[in-house]
A = this chain, B = another copy of it.
Amino acid sequence: MAKQIAAASRTTPAAAPAPAPAPAAAPAAPAAAVNEVTQKMEGVVLGEDGKPLSEKQLKKLKKEQEKAARKAEVAARLAAEKAAREAADVDYSTDRYGKLPVNMSQQRTNEKREAIADITAARAGETIKLRARVQTCRLQGNKLCFFQLRQRFDTIQAVLTATKDTVSKHMIKFAGSITTESLVIIEATIAKAPEPVRSCTVQDAELQVHRVYVESAASDRLPFLLEDAVRPEADFDLNPAFSRVALDTRLNNRVIDLRTITNQAVFRIQSGICQLFREFLYARGFTEIHTPKMIGAASEGGANVFEVTYFKTKAYLAQSPQFYKQMMIGADFERVFEIGPVFRAENSLTHRHMTEFTGLDLEMSINEHYSEVLDLFDELFVHMFSGIESRFAKELDIINRQYPFEPFQYLKKSLRLTYPEAVALMRGAGHEMADDEDLSTEKERILGKLVKDKYKTDFYMLEKFPLCVRPFYTMPDPHDKMYSNSYDFFMRGEEILSGAQRVHDAAMLEERAREHGVDPATIQPYIDAFKYGVAPHGGGGIGLERVVMLYLNLFNIRRTSLFPRDPKRLEP
């Protein structure tokens, strides 16, 4: 068998399964020993003590000799039978399994590779070829091997059955030795499943395997099993023997963890949100921009900014593209957006902060009123929420299996509350709040709950924050100087966007900086940028990972970042 596998695996014989032990030699030794004794009997037969044997002794010896001869006969017959059996048991499946050589683009045949998602019982009888992960592999006796095969977020059952002329027991044995998480190339016939396969996403069909080749073998020391990594929390309560995979273990072995059908679905939705965001904005005349992430001066005084060694000087990582977005308004781009990394050197470990995250930022000039920005955001979020529902129903279903969550509720026309209205709502429910007090994380949650109860929505916009709790470049309310033309948006009671109309007049900006205790001299380039005529404008920044986390109610932002970064994690 070793030779057969080596034939299929020209370049990596070392990785082939260990050859089976050679058949044991036939047990002929006892017969030979008897012969030797018999030869010595041709003269006088002596006993072990050197004396000639008595009649009785001779009789006994003969009996023993006859017994040994019979034994030898039986052994010889058995050996002959075994040899004959083995001669008949040639491996007739050698070209149907094995380990493939490393793919170095040796050839291209353009043969079709099937997607598991496209397999249904209606196609029973078709023979197909596919690449898949071996999610589980289980031998049953020496004639059956069951697989669960996986591609992204689709799984299907596959069966390899020993047959007289195509699938040998050698092949069954090989199949049973494939390590889970190995990539295999399978040739199989689609069959209707005898009963629904509840454990797979394809439930009405299964695969009857004809050929199985290992394309890339997984080590047999996986950091955790994928079936554990994908188990819903409820299962652990039912069966305490199940092994829970800790978040840190997942993140340390993120490549394996990302293979769960749940994570495939989560990051498919993350990608979809970016697509929904962009397609909406492109259709409304926005221009995509790429602004520098290495900047010459620390923005907003340098707190929470990462420092970079830039040749012989220092640079800083951008905390937000806001200043650049504003410059693009000054440069007449009118409507711009950017999706890119944002860096925050905040040394705090919470469920919703990372040191690097993906910002979905936009900025637009306004004709008359910042509510034009809110109108656009309103339509944008409704477009995103409804797009997730309609385009990613399957993904939502898969995520729900592991992390059941209440469907995200939103209104076709988003709720807009003013800050005084929110304060009144809080007070009405017995939560004391000053008029100009900022919302703590805790109060955000309470308010979210009150809003959900009253307005039946998990998404709302809160506008007119007190001026004193917003940055100096925020446009004051023209009718009441205590408030500002600013807004935060919330999903399930947590902030996912912050934005405002910005001050676009240099003189007013200087004045506002001073009132905020910021010396205008320290931000002169920023102020100067408004001296050549800038249209009134507003915008905001959305945290992508937060939107995904809150829409899916995943509780920890690290679950919605491919490779999260926090003060204690820079790897992988």
Please determine whether A532 and B332 come into contact, CB atoms closer than 8 angstroms.
no
CA distance A263 to B306 in the complex (A): 32
- Asked whether A313 and B218 contact (CB < 8 A) given A255-B529, A507-B12, the answer is no
The residues of B that contact A218 with a CB separation of less than 8 Å are 531-533
The residues of B that contact A369 with a CB separation of less than 8 Å are 105-108
* CB proximity to B under 8 Å, residues A312-348: 313, 315, 317, 324, 327-328, 330-334, 339-341, 343, 345, 347
Q: Does A571 contact B (CB under 8 A)?
A: yes
Q: Does A546 contact B (CB under 8 A)?
A: no
Q: Does A295 contact B (CB under 8 A)?
A: yes
A128 to chain B, nearest CB (A): 13
Residue among B268, B331, B563 making CB contact with A255, cutoff 8 Å: B331
Please determine whether B104 and A476 come into contact, CB atoms closer than 8 angstroms.
yes
Please determine whether A371 and B572 come into contact, CB atoms closer than 8 angstroms.
no
The residues of B that contact A216 with a CB separation of less than 8 Å are 504-505, 533-536
Please determine whether B477 and A104 come into contact, CB atoms closer than 8 angstroms.
yes
- What are the interface flags for A350-389 relative to B under an 8 Å C-beta threshold, 1 for contact and 0 otherwise? 0000011010000000111111100000000000000000
The residues of B that contact A151 with a CB separation of less than 8 Å are 332
A486 to chain B, nearest CB (A): 11
CA distance A294 to B431 in the complex (A): 42
7 CB contacts below 8 A, A to B, read A107-B368, A111-B367, A296-B572, A297-B571, A313-B570, A328-B562, A340-B340
Interface residues of A (CB under 8 A from B): 12, 14-15, 102-111, 113, 131, 133, 150-152, 181-183, 215-219, 222, 254-256, 258-259, 263-264, 267-268, 270-271, 274-275, 278, 282, 287-297, 306-311, 313, 315, 317, 324, 327-328, 330-334, 339-341, 343, 345, 347, 355-356, 358, 366-372, 475-479, 485, 501, 504-505, 507-508, 525, 529, 531-536, 544, 561-563, 565, 567, 570-572
Please determine whether B288 and A271 come into contact, CB atoms closer than 8 angstroms.
yes
Please determine whether A183 and B533 come into contact, CB atoms closer than 8 angstroms.
yes
- Report the nearest B residue to A570, measured CB to CB: B296
Please determine whether B183 and A131 come into contact, CB atoms closer than 8 angstroms.
no
- Report the nearest B residue to A15, measured CB to CB: B507
- Asked whether A267 and B341 contact (CB < 8 A) given A531-B219, A567-B311, the answer is no
CA distance A488 to B70 in the complex (A): 79
- Asked whether A525 and B572 contact (CB < 8 A) given A356-B293, A368-B108, the answer is yes
A537 to chain B, nearest CB (A): 9
Please determine whether B289 and A331 come into contact, CB atoms closer than 8 angstroms.
no
Please determine whether A295 and B570 come into contact, CB atoms closer than 8 angstroms.
yes
Please determine whether B133 and A565 come into contact, CB atoms closer than 8 angstroms.
no
- Report the nearest B residue to A179, measured CB to CB: B533
A331 to chain B, nearest CB (A): 4
Please determine whether B368 and A315 come into contact, CB atoms closer than 8 angstroms.
no
Residue among B267, B288, B334, B366 making CB contact with A275, cutoff 8 Å: B288
CA distance A366 to B306 in the complex (A): 39
The residues of B that contact A296 with a CB separation of less than 8 Å are 570-572
